[in-house]
Amino acid sequence: MRTFFKLCACLFPLALLVVCAPATRADVAVLLEEPYSLDGSLAGTGHSAVFLSNVCAETPTQLRRCNPGELGVVVSRYHHLAGYDWAAVPLIAYLYAVDKPENVPLFIDPKLAWYLRNQYRRAHFADIAPDPPSSHPDTQDWYQLVGSAFDRTLYGFQLPTSPEDDDRLIAKFNSGQNKQAYRLVSDNCADFVHDVVTFYYPDSVWRSKLGDLGVMTPKQAAKSFTQFSKRNPQLQLTRFFVPQVPGTVKRSKPVHGLVDGVFHAKKYFVPLAVFTPFVAGGVATVYYFGGRFDPAKDVAMWTPDGVLDRPLTKEERRAWQRDLEALVKSDPTLKSALSKTQWKSLEDSSEFHADDQGRAVIQLSSPQGSANLGATRSNILASSDSQTQARLLLVARLHEELRGGRTKKATNRSIQSDFDLLQQSLASNVTLSASGAN
């Protein structure tokens, strides 16, 4: 059965590559991003942005056609960004605050997220947010430009474009005024998405006067875009998601519109039902007949190498979970990786720097001395004095990826890659022990 699952995992991305390879087509995608922090606790509307696979960033405020091998750009509207209305950031940087897929961190905590964001800011948009960052109220949103997948899961809804339309959009943005225009109700991030997407596909995104009281929301932008694609099935909508990076950063929450946000929040809906049951009944009716939209339905998982892959089924996830549990049971030293206290103490004692290839390195301190632990897939096994910590980090990552819950988190290919790294680390430990015995 495991062999069957692996075969399916290999064939699925190959099939998707036929229609989704970034080098052979251009696309525009609505990005629906889950809420976190205060937004997750209150409104829960999240954020919305546009991904363009054939358009890239010459600077954060100038666009150009992509060169071969580039993955495209994310363009979005922000509130406090040095007086600018929008900024364009390369896809990998927008998601992970790094320049290259091989530099994506395996496990994220708040300190590492800040380090990576700040390093990218200094290298690429210090003019927009100079040192010290966030010192001025008008630059306080700069951190949202990069590392979005550190804080939340993102969903993408993608339709093809033409090179000619991409060129027209580039000319429009480069010649237009890029001055702050954000208004919460009338010109928010979802309104910006509406303007960009309807440039390619007129009438493809619209407001919901009933479900969102006429306010454009990120969820409505994605929902209406998928409804438009159903009316035009020849366009072949691609749905994908980008999982939140495993780690100790709080997990994001489900995205809502205005009315269904009230319906799902007990702190709002219960008092409404008690004191104004007629209004509560109206909210429930609006939700059941127009507010339901599941962004996670029929989605493929986007990976940093640009491939769309099939996420784990429940049966596959449980099978891998049993493998991990058996491994931890066979080596009690790995059990501490499942403890939040372990990672809290690790975070408190860690500092960060970059190696000679620009990859993040965690400098660990303990009474026994210090050790350097690579934070990426390509350098986590580089230092022989941090193999114990590498194994713990990989077990913690696998534990997070294989946890049940409402969101999908991994594919067979990504889990197999993480297990391979863990096995390499274990084999390295055996080799070192044997050489010490000799």
In a domain, 262, yes or no: no
Pair (218, 110) in one structural domain = yes
CB atoms within 10 A of CB 164: 9
Residues paired with residue 56 on neighbouring β-strands, in sequence order: 64
In a domain, 166, yes or no: yes
For residues 90 and 100, what is the distance between their CA atoms, to the nearest angstrom?
10
Q: Are residues 92 and 203 in the same domain?
A: yes
| Token pair recorded at residue 370 | 């210090």
pLDDT in the model for residue 270: 45
What per-residue confidence (pLDDT) applies to 79?
87
51 versus 12: which is more confidently predicted? 51
Task: Write down the pLDDT at residue 120.
Answer: 96
15 has pLDDT over 60: no
Task: Look at residue 403 and tell me whether its pLDDT is greater than 80.
Answer: yes
Residue 27 lies in a domain: yes
The radius of gyration computed from the CA coordinates of the chain, to the nearest angstrom, equals 23
183, 244: one domain = yes
Task: Summarize pLDDT for 67-101 with one digit per residue, the tens.
Answer: 999 999 999 999 888 899 999 999 999 999 999 99
Domain that holds residue 403: 311-437
Q: Does residue 139 fall inside a structural domain?
A: yes
Domain shared by 30 and 41, yes or no: yes
Across the beta sheet with 369-374, what order do the strands follow? 350-354, 360-366, 369-374
pLDDT over 90 (residue 429):
no
Specify whether 319 is located in the same domain as 191.
no
Residue 41 pLDDT > 70: no
Lowest mean pLDDT among 171-175, 209-213, 316-320: 209-213
How high is the pLDDT of residue 359? Answer: 94
- pLDDT for res 277: 60
Nearest CA-CA partner of 36 in 410, 411, 415, 407: 407
Asked if the structure places residue 12 within a domain, the reply is no
Q: Are residues 302 and 358 in the same domain?
A: no
Pair 392, 241: CB distance under 8 Å? no
Q: Give the mean pLDDT of the chain.
A: 84
pLDDT in tens, 350-364: 899 999 999 999 998
Please list, in sequence order, all residues whose beta carbon lies within 8 angstroms of the beta carbon of residue 177, skipping any fewer than 6 positions away.
none
**Segment 245-296, tens digit of pLDDT:** 999 999 999 888 655 644 445 544 445 444 456 444 544 455 555 556 889 9
- Joined together, the tokens standing for residue 277 give 């049951």
Asked, for residue 400, whether it belongs to a domain, the answer is yes
Please tell me the total count of domains within the chain. 2
pTM over 0.85: yes
Task: Give the mean pLDDT of 159-171.
Answer: 97
Examine the pLDDT at 16 and tell me if it is beyond 50. Answer: no
97-146 pLDDT per residue, tens: 999 999 999 999 999 999 999 999 999 988 888 887 766 777 888 999 99
Please choose, from the candidates 144, 35, 154, the residue with its C-alpha nearest in 3D space to the C-alpha of residue 87: 144
Distance CA 57, CA 64 (A): 6
Cβ contacts of residue 436 below 8 Å, gap of 6+? none
What angle is formed at CA 153 by the lines to CA 149 and CA 158, rounded to 5 degrees? 100
Q: Are 155 and 180 contained in the same domain?
A: yes
Q: Within this chain, do residues 112 and 172 fall inside the same structural domain, yes or no?
A: yes
Residues 242 and 388 in one domain: no
Which of 308, 340, 373 terminates a domain? The answer is 308
pLDDT band at 20 (very low <50, low <70, confident <90, very high): very low
Q: What mean pLDDT is predicted for residues 173-184?
A: 92
Please indicate, yes or no, if residue 14 is contained in any of the structural domains: no
C-alpha pair distances (Å), 133 with each of 51, 74, 83, 128: 26, 22, 15, 10
Indicate whether 372 belongs to any domain. yes
Q: Which among 256, 49, 242 has a CA at the least distance from the CA of 153?
A: 242
Q: Do 175 and 74 lie in a common domain?
A: yes
> Regarding predicted confidence, which is higher, 170 or 282?
170
221 and 119 share one domain: yes
Same domain, 303 and 364: no
